[in-house]
């Protein structure tokens, strides 16, 4: 009997969708399946994929308020009964995808970005896709356009979100809470001292890791200044700036000794550096936050973009997964609480263990193969 073939579709609007796709791919391969990841727009046109992704990232980076408005308005133009203009756009850009799927002949197709889900829905409605189809939600909130999909299974981050998805018309029997898939090599238990040695971090000092990337550029400098002024001198602060060279130059211009402020550019994989931290300060992205939760790292969520990130932060706050302060002054207080209050640290890590169990990618992969085999 041949191995099951699974096609995984993503889109590079931020690293989370691709990372989730790769996590599912790794888990599927470990189970003996053939699995490949593709950009759903790259298949159609690499140029078109670049335009779509750059437009998205540009809006998030330069006009985040507009992004929040667009995100919220999306719920008003979408419903289970009528398809939105976004669905129409993706349907129009699906013909080449149909031919590509036919050439690969997969037993199952899984997507981690809703645009691919809309494309696949259109193709299925027109008899151009016969494979089993599943979708993976990569944020802890109700996301727009999922009620426009007509697929076999939707993997959600947590069961508490199901009522909201059912409320917009999604069949409850299609919803399965599995968690957000992260790299299967990420482990709950690890040697922190070894991780610190590997990264050149003094194991005797408390370490605060600040990961904001280019999207947090406008607010990161203020946050770092507040942490430098508010934390004890023996606390090492590491800031990850991503590909933002301007931000790196701004931090170097502060002339803070490297044994107090360590400035890094793009770090991959970030989850290895996370292991060295006593406290992580980060934007509340679904994938990156899950990597921290799975490793049981105390976290402060900072400066969310309105829309999906602010909704993630609400979920974190409600479930005790992270502290979610609103100002730089409050961020410093939150970091101090998690650095020095062992009860607060233990309580947060216990909630992370309860709400975000390890192994989502493996659970999702197993379910994909089971259901695809039955189709």
Please give the mean pLDDT across all residues of the chain. 90
Beta-carbon count within 10 A of 128 CB: 16
| pLDDT cut 90: percent of the chain above it | 69
Q: What are phi and psi of 97, to 5 degrees?
A: -60, -40
pLDDT in tens, 303-338: 888 888 899 999 999 999 999 999 999 999 999 999
H-helix or E-strand spanning residue 153: strand 153-156
> If you average pLDDT over residues 126-138, what whole number do you get?
96
Six token digits for residue 179: 């968690």
Which among 214, 329, 324 is positioned nearest to 266, based on CA atoms?
Answer: 214
pLDDT in tens, 21-45: 999 999 999 999 999 999 998 888 7
- In contact, 294 and 180? CB cutoff 8 Å: no
Say which CATH superfamily domain 5-184+359-374 falls into. Glycogen Phosphorylase B; (3.40.50.2000)
What's the Cα-to-Cα distance from 305 to each of 44, 68, 301, 319, rounded to whole Å?
30, 7, 11, 20
Report how far residue 155's alpha carbon sits from residue 137's, in angstroms, rounded to the nearest whole number.
Answer: 6
| pLDDT bracket for residue 71 (50, 70, 90) | low
- In contact, 327 and 350? CB cutoff 8 Å: no
> If you average pLDDT over residues 155-159, what whole number do you get?
98
Beta-carbon count within 10 A of 245 CB: 11
CATH number of 192-355: 3.40.50.2000
Put the strands of the sheet holding 34-39 in their side by side order: 34-39, 5-10, 108-111, 132-136, 153-156, 175-177
pLDDT in tens, 220-271: 899 999 999 999 999 999 999 888 888 889 999 999 999 999 999 988 889 9
- In contact, 295 and 280? CB cutoff 8 Å: no
Beta-carbon count within 10 A of 359 CB: 17
Q: What are phi and psi of 213, to 5 degrees?
A: 65, -175
- In contact, 32 and 1? CB cutoff 8 Å: no
Which among 100, 152, 145, 92 is positioned nearest to 122, based on CA atoms?
Answer: 92
Query: Is residue 362's pLDDT more than 90?
Result: yes
Q: Output b/e per residue, 23-55; b: 16+ Cβ within 10 A.
A: bbbbbbbebebbbebbbbbbbbeeeebeebbee
| Sequence-ordered list of residues with C-beta below 8 angstroms from that of 26, at least 6 positions apart, any chain | 183, 184, 185, 361
Integer-rounded Cα Rg, in Å, for the chain is 21
3-state secondary structure of 220: helix
Identify the residue with better confidence: 242 or 168.
168
Q: Where in the chain is the domain with CATH 3.40.50.2000?
A: 5-184+359-374, 192-355
DSSP bridge pairs for 8: 37, 110
Which residue's structure tokens are 């008003």?
76
Angle ∠(291,297,299) on CA atoms, nearest 5:
90
Please report the beta strands in 265-340, taking only residues with DSSP state E, as ranges in sequence order: 279-282, 299-301
Determine the pLDDT at residue 69: 61
Beta-carbon count within 10 A of 130 CB: 14
Report how far residue 18's alpha carbon sits from residue 183's, in angstroms, rounded to the nearest whole number.
Answer: 11
Which residue's structure tokens are 């151009």?
128
> If you average pLDDT over residues 121-131, what whole number do you get?
96
């Amino acid at each position: 009997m041949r191995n099951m073939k699974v096609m995984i579709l993503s889109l590079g609007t931020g690293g989370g969708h691709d990372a989730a796709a790769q996590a599912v791919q790794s888990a599927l391969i470990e189970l003996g399946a053939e699995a490949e990841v593709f950009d759903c727009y790259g298949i159609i046109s690499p140029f078109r994929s670049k335009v779509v992704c750059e437009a998205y990232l540009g809006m998030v980076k330069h006009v985040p308020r507009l992004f929040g408005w667009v995100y919220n308005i999306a719920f008003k133009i979408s419903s289970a009964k009528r398809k939105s203009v976004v669905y129409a756009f993706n349907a129009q850009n699906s013909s080449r995808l149909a031919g590509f799927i036919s050439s690969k002949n997969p037993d199952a197709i899984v997507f981690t970005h809703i645009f691919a889900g809309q494309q696949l829905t259109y193709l299925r409605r027109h008899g151009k896709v016969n494979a089993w189809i599943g979708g993976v939600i990569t944020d802890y909130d109700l996301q727009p356009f999922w009620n426009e999909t007509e697929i076999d299974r939707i993997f959600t981050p947590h069961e508490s979100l199901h009522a909201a998805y059912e409320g917009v018309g999604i069949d409850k029997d299609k919803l399965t809470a599995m968690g957000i898939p992260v790299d299967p090599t990420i482990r709950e238990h690890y040697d922190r001292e070894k991780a610190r040695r590997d990264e050149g971090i003094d194991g005797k000092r408390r370490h605060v890791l600040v990961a904001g990337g280019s999207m947090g550029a406008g607010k990161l400098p203020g946050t770092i200044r507040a942490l430098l002024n508010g934390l004890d001198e023996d606390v090492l602060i590491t800031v990850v700036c991503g590909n933002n060279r301007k931000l790196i130059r701004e931090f170097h211009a502060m002339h803070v000794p490297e044994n107090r402020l360590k400035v890094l550019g793009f770090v991959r994989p970030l989850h290895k550096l996370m292991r060295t931290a006593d406290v992580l300060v980060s934007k509340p992205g679904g994938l990156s936050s899950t990597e921290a939760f799975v490793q049981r790292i105390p976290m402060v969520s900072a400066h969310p973009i309105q829309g999906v990130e602010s909704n993630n932060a609400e979920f974190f706050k409600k479930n005790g997964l992270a502290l979610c302060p609103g100002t730089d002054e409050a961020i410093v207080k939150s970091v101090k609480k998690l650095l020095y209050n062992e009860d607060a640290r233990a309580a947060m890590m216990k909630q992370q263990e309860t709400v975000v169990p390890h192994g989502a990618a493996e659970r999702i992969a197993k379910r994909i193969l089971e259901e695809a085999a039955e189709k």
